Structure 1
C-alpha cells in the first residue's frame, strides 16, 4: 500500500486515510493509491463498509491545480473515473470530512454515499475562481443531492458553506460534537447503516433536480446575471452544466460536464485565473526573508487616525481577535470614529454576517485614546493620518519617543516616500509602509512597502500578520505611488487626454467596463474625489508641469468645485447614486481643447482600450525593471485586488503576455508616432519591453 494512504481494517470497517500533505490534493499518485485502497476494500469479504478520512485531520482541498492543462491530469485514474467507480461500490462508503472538502475534495465526498462533518468543516466548489467548473461529477451529483437552485448558487458564488449550513442543505448527513470525535462518530454511523440494512448508496433526494423550479428558470437566471458576468465564460458553463443535470440522465450528464470542463480548462480565461492562483503563492517569496526569520510578536496594535481609513484598518485587527488602540487628537473625532465602526458592524449584523455577540466582542477589542502615551505597549503602530509628508513625519517623531523598543512603526501612505518618513526616527529599521486600500476592512490588497532600512524580521512579521487578517500582501519598493498608484497615474493621464481629444466620459468608462474592469477610470475618479487627484497632481508639478494638457480637465473640474460624487458633480452628474452624463463636461472639454490647440475627433473604442491599458502595462514593466516590483505577477495581484482589473484577464502583465509583447510594443510605438508631441512626451516604450521583444521573450521578466 502506498505511503499516500493509511489503510486499516477494524471490525468490518475499512478505514482509508488520505495522507498527502499539506492538503491532500488529488494528484495522480494519490488518485492511484486511493483507487487501489478502494478496490482492496471492495474485494475483501471481511469489509462491510468503507470510511474515507484525512489522515492528518484535513479531508481534501481539491485537485492538484499544477496538473491542470497537462496530460497528467488525465492520467489513469482520471479523477472523474475514480469517483464514478467509488460511487458504484456495493458497500456503504462514508466520507468523514475534517477541515475542508473543496473542489475535487468535495466531489470526492459527493461520490460517497454518506457524509459526516465536524463543527469546523467547510465545503465548497470554488472552481469558478479558476475560470473552471466542477469537472468530476460535482455539477451532476450536487443538484441531485440538494436541488438545482441551491447547487447552482454554490457553484456560481464559489463560496464555502459551514457544517451547520451543509447539514441544513442535506449536503452532510451528520455533524459531530467535536473535531476529535469525527472518526469515532463516522465508525458509529457506518455500523448504524449496516445494522439497519441501509443501501450502499441512498436514493437521490432530487432525482429531478429542477422539480421546484419554474419552466423558465434557467432562461431567467441567465438574463438576470449575464450583465454582471460581462465576458466571463465560466459562469455560463456552470449554468449549462447544471441545466444538463436537470435534462439528462446521470451518465449522460457526466459526459456533458466533462466536455464543458475541457472547454473551460482550455480557455485563456482559465489560464489567466490559474496564473493568479499561483501568483498569490509566489508573492510570499521575498529575498532575504525565509522560514528561519524570527518573527516579532504582535499582540497589540495601535492605529493613529479614527477616520474612514483608520477605522477600517482597526476593524481588520479586531476581526482577527487582536486588541486595537485607536488614537485621535480630539475626543469628538474619536467618538465619531468608534461610532462609525459600530455602525459598520451593525450593518454586518443586519445582513446576517455577524451576531450581536460577535459585534460586542469586536467592539470590546477596540479602545480609544487621545493620548500618545497609551501607545507605549503597542507591538505595531499604524499611522493613518492626512496624506502629507510633514504631517506624517511629525507623527513618526512622536512615535519614536513614546513607542517601546522593537515596536513596528508603519505608515498607511498611498504615495509618499517611506524612506523620508523613516529618516526622522532613530529606528528606521523598524519602519515599513502598509498601504491599505479603501474600504480597508473589505479590500484584500495590502501593499507592503519595504524601505531601504526595513529589517527582514519587520518585513516577515508584517507579511505573516497581513495573511492573518485576511489580506493579500504584495511587497513594493519605495517610489512615488509604489506599484498601484505609480501605474494608475499614466492610466489616468490617458483617460483625461482622450476626453480632450474627443471621447466622452461615458464612452471611456464603457470601453473599460466592457473589458471587465470593475469601474471605468472616470467613475473611479468621481468616487475617490477629484480634489484628491488634484492635490496629488499639485505635489508633482515639477514632473508633469511641462505638459499643460496633463489631467487639465480634472483641474478645471476642481476649480469649479466639482469634486465627484461627494458634491453631486464631477465627470458625471449625480442624482443620489445614479450617474448621469453631463453636457457641461463635454462643453468644458471642447473649450480646454481649443485653448490648448488639440484637434477633437471621433475616437474608436479600440484606441481607448489600447491607450489606457498600454500605458498601464508600460509603466508596470518599467517598475519591474527598476526593482520596485519583485516579479510581474506581483503587479497583477495589485491590480486585480486593489484596482478592479478583471481576474479572468490575469492582471495587466499577464494580459500583455496574452496579447503578445511584440504587439504591445508595436501599439505603443504607433501611438507615439501618431500623437505628435504628446506621444513623443508620454508614450515612450519601457526599455525592458524593448529588450524582451528583441530577445524573443514571451514572458515579462527582468533581463
Structure 2
C-alpha cells in the first residue's frame, strides 16, 4: 500500500496523502509507519526549500485516526505505546529544517488536525466542508498525538480549551480568526494562494510577517494567560463549565483540562509525556469503549434505508404548529423550498415564528448571520389551500395526533399530489398501516418521526409500513441525512421504537410515585444515573397532555403491560395539568426560567388521597423499575425485528432520549448488569409490582447461559 506520493518542483516538495481504497484519509498504524519513512526521507534531503502536505481526496484532508485501532486497544501499555508512536511521527514534522505547510481542503479532524498543528503553517480552503477540530473527548479520550500541547500554544489556552473540551469543529474563517491557520482562500484560488504563500515565507521578512499576523488575543488574553492568577481563574471557570455540562460522568473532558493546566508552562517534550500518560488512562475505560461503539453504530446508519436516484428537491408541511414550523425550518435550513399549509393565517404565522426563533438561536451563537436567517425564511411560503402542491416531491403531515383527523388530511392531500410524490406522517405513536388505509398509494407513504425540538434533536425515525416501497424508504432516509440528521429505519408498530421504549419508563416513574417515592427523589435518582433530566421534568417539557395521549395509544395497542398509571389520569383529567407550557405539571413553573421549579404539592396530595404510602421506595428500586422496564421492552423490539441492527436501538435511545452515551446505550447497560441479573431482577419486580415486569422470551433465553444482549 502506498498512501503518500512525493514530488519535487523547484525545491518545493509536495506530499499527497491519498489512502487507497478508502473514501477518507485516516491514520492507521500502517499509514503512520509509511508517513514516518516519508518524513525520514525529507529529513535526509538537502535540496529542499519547503514541503507542502495536501490530500488527494476531494473535500477531505484527514479524518483522523483509524477508530478501529482505538477500539482494539488491549491495555494501558498498548494505549501509551500508540500515543507515543504517533507523537514521535508528528515530531518529525515539527523537527524539519525547512518550512512545512498543511494545505487543508475539507475535514481536518482529530489526528488530522494534530498532524497539521505539527506543521509550520496551515492554509485552508474557504468551503463549507472545511472543518478543523479535535473531537476526541466525544470518544472518551483526549487528543494523544500532540493536540493538548500544540493547540493551546498556538491559539491560546482559553481558545484551545474551548475546542478541546467541546470537541466541536470550527470552519475556515473561524480558524483564521483564531490564528489556527495562516491563510484562507476559495478552492478555485487555493493553488494560487499556496504558491504566493510559499514564496512569501521563504523570505525572512515574509515569514516574520505571517507569524506576526497570528492572533495573540490582546490584553485580555495576557490578563488571563500571562500571569498565574489569571490562569487559575481561567482553569477554575473551565472546570466549572465542564462539570455543569458533564456532571463529572465523563472523565475525558476533565482529563483534557487537567493536562492543559498541568503542562502549559512545561516544555513541549514534557507535556507530550503527560499527554500520552493521560491518554493511556482513558483509552481502556468502559466509557471509551461504549462511546466508540456509539460511533460505529452511527457510522453504520450512514447508508440506512439504502440509496436513491431520485432525491427530494421540494417539500411541503401540513400543519404549522411547533412541530410543523420546526420541520419546515429544518428543510429550509438546507436550501429546500417549503410550502407550509394550515387552516388559517394565524396558525401559519405561529409556524413561521417557530422557524424564526430557531434562526435567532443560531444568530445569537454566531452560527448564522441575520441575512442568512432572512434567506431561510424566504424559502418557506404559507398557504391555506393546495396551490403549488402539484410540484412538490414530499409532503409531511404534522397535524394533531388523532387517527381519524390524520386519515382525512392525508387522503385530501394525496388528491393534490403528483403520482410519484411521497406522503409521510410525523406521527409519534400511531400505526402507519392504520393511516395508510385511507390512501390510494400506500406504497408511497411512510412515517417520518421528528423529535422535539426539531432544531436540536438529531434523530428521525423513518417508519416503513407493510406496504411502503423500498424506494420510498430510501428517498425519505436520504432526505433525513441531507438535512443533517440521523435516519433510523424502523418497522411499523404503535410507538415505533423510541416512544415504545420510553413511555413505559415514564409510566413506571409515575407508578413509583403512587407507591410512595417523591417527585424530586425520582427525578434526582434518574438524573444521577446520567439521563439529561428526570422523567417528571421530561414529562412537563413534552406536555402532560401530549404524553397522556401517547400513553393511551400504547395502552390500547399493548394491553395491560402498558396500562396508563393512575397518576397521569389524575394529572390530566382531574387537575388538567399541562406541564411547562401551562405553568403546572409535576413541578410548578414560574416566569423565571433559571429558578429551580418546586414539586407540585397539590398533585402529590391528590395522589396520596388515592394511594396512601405503605412502604419505602428507595433509589435502587426506582432505578431498576424505570430502567429495566425499558430493557424488557427493548428486548421485545429485538424479538419483533423492529430494527435490523441492535446497535441502532442503542443509538436511537442515546439520540432520541438522551440515554447516557458513556454507558453505550440501553443494551450495553443491560450487558453491564448481565442477562441473568436482568432476568432475576425483572422476576423479583414482577412478584412485587405486577406481571408487566415478566421477562420476555429473549431475556429468559439469554439468561439461561448468561449470554450477552446483542449489540
Change (3 A) 1:653 1:403: same
> How far is the alpha carbon of 1:256 from its aligned partner?
0.7
- Contact conserved, 2:494 with 2:553, CA < 8 A, in 1? no
Which shows bigger deviation, 529-538 or 138-147? 529-538
Q: Which runs of no fewer than 5 residues in structure 2 stay unpaired?
A: none
Question: Are residues 1:11 and 2:18 paired?
Answer: no
Evaluate the alpha carbon distance shift between residue 541 and residue 665 of structure 1 in structure 2; reply closer, same or farther with a 3 A threshold: closer
Is this contact kept in 1: 2:140–2:282, CA < 8 A?
yes
Check conservation: 1:25, 1:63, Cα contact below 8 A: yes
CA–CA distance in structure 2, aligned partners of residues 684 and 285 of structure 1: 36
SS of the residue 1:386 aligns to: coil
Residue 584 of structure 1, aligned match among 569, 592, 602: 602
The answer to whether structure 1 residue 109 and structure 2 residue 111 are counterparts is no
More displaced 10-residue stretch of structure 1: 540-549 or 299-308: 540-549
| Structure 2 residue matching 1:368: 3-state secondary structure | strand
Matches within 5 A, 1:660-679: 660-673=674-687, 675=688, 678-679=689-690
- The alignment partner of 1:68 has SS state of helix
In the aligned structure 2, how far is the partner of 1:389 from the partner of 1:218?
Answer: 55
Aligned partners of 1:548, 1:656: CA distance in 2, in Å? 21
Change (3 A) 1:89 1:547: closer
Cross-structure match for 1:53: 54
Cα 1:347/1:252, change in 2 over 3 Å: closer
1:487–1:619 CA contact under 8 A, matched in 2 = yes
Is 1:249 the counterpart of 2:267? The answer is yes
Distance 1:290 1:544 in 2: 31
Structure 2 partner of 1:44: 45
**Match in the other structure for 1:223:** 240
Q: Which residue of 2 aligns with 1:490?
A: 504
SS of 2:430's equivalent in the other structure is coil
The aligned residue for residue 697 of structure 1 is: 707
In 2, distance between residues paired with 1:556 and 1:5? 69
Instruction: State which drifts further: 469-478 or 630-639.
Output: 630-639
**What is the RMSD of the two structures over their aligned residues, measured on CA atoms?**
2.4
What residue number does 1:30 align with?
A: 31
The answer as to whether partners of 2:302 and 2:486 remain within 8 angstroms in 1 is no
Is 2:608 the partner of 1:593?
A: no
How far the C-alpha of 1:564 sits from its partner, in A, is: 1.5
| Residues 184-193 or 410-419, more deviating | 184-193
Look up the match of 2:421. Answer: 407
1:542 CA displacement? 4.6
TM-aligned CA distance change 1:342 to 1:431, over 3 Å: same
- Map 1:135-150 to 2 at 5 A: 135-150=144-159
Whether 1:122 and 2:102 are equivalent positions in the alignment is: no
Runs (4+) of structure 1 moved beyond 6 Å?
201-209
- What pairs up with 1:508-587 in 2 under 5 angstroms? 508-539=522-553, 542=556, 550-558=564-572, 559-576=574-591, 577=593, 578=595, 579-587=597-605
Deviates more, 1:203-212 or 1:2-11: 203-212
CA distance in 1, matches of 2:562, 2:406: 31
Is 2:339–2:381's contact at 8 Å kept on the other side of the alignment?
yes
2:624 and 2:446 mapped to 1: Cα distance? 35
Bigger mean CA deviation after superposition, 577-586 or 75-84 = 75-84
Report how far residue 549 of structure 1 moved: 8.1
1:103-142 deviation per Cα after TM superposition (whole angstroms, max 9, x unaligned): 1100000111111112123211111111111111100111
How many matched pairs?
686
CA contact (8 A) 1:32 1:76 kept: no
Q: 537-546 or 274-283, which moves further after superposition?
A: 537-546
TM-score, structure 1 as length reference: 0.93
What is residue 194 of structure 1 aligned with on the other side?
202
Q: Residue 225 and residue 325 in structure 1: after superposition, are their counterparts in 2 closer, same or farther (change >3 A)?
A: same
The structure 2 residue matched to 1:181, chosen from 189, 193, 212, is: 189
Aligned-residue offset at 1:285: 5.2
Asked whether the equivalents of residues 295 and 458 of structure 1 are also in contact (C-alpha less than 8 Å), the reply is no
Distance change in 2, residues 1:649/1:331 (3 Å): same
Distance in 2 (alpha carbons) for counterparts of 1:484 and 1:642: 7
3-state SS in 2 of match to 1:283: helix
Secondary structure of the residue aligned to 2:187 is: coil
Tell me the distance in 2 between the aligned counterparts of 1:312 and 1:60. 34
- Give the Cα separation in 2 of the matches to 1:219 and 1:343: 33
Match of 2:322 in 1: 308
Question: How far does the alpha carbon of each residue in 1:428-475 deviate from its partner, in whole angstroms, 9 at most, with x for none?
Answer: 110010001111232111010011111111111111111110111111
TM-score, L = length of structure 2: 0.92
1:604 is aligned, of 612, 618, 621, to 618
Residues 500 and 600 of structure 1 are in contact (CA less than 8 Å); yes or no, is this contact kept in structure 2?
Answer: no
**Structure 1: any 5+ residue segments left out of the alignment?**
none
Query: Which shifted more, 656-665 or 645-654?
Result: 656-665
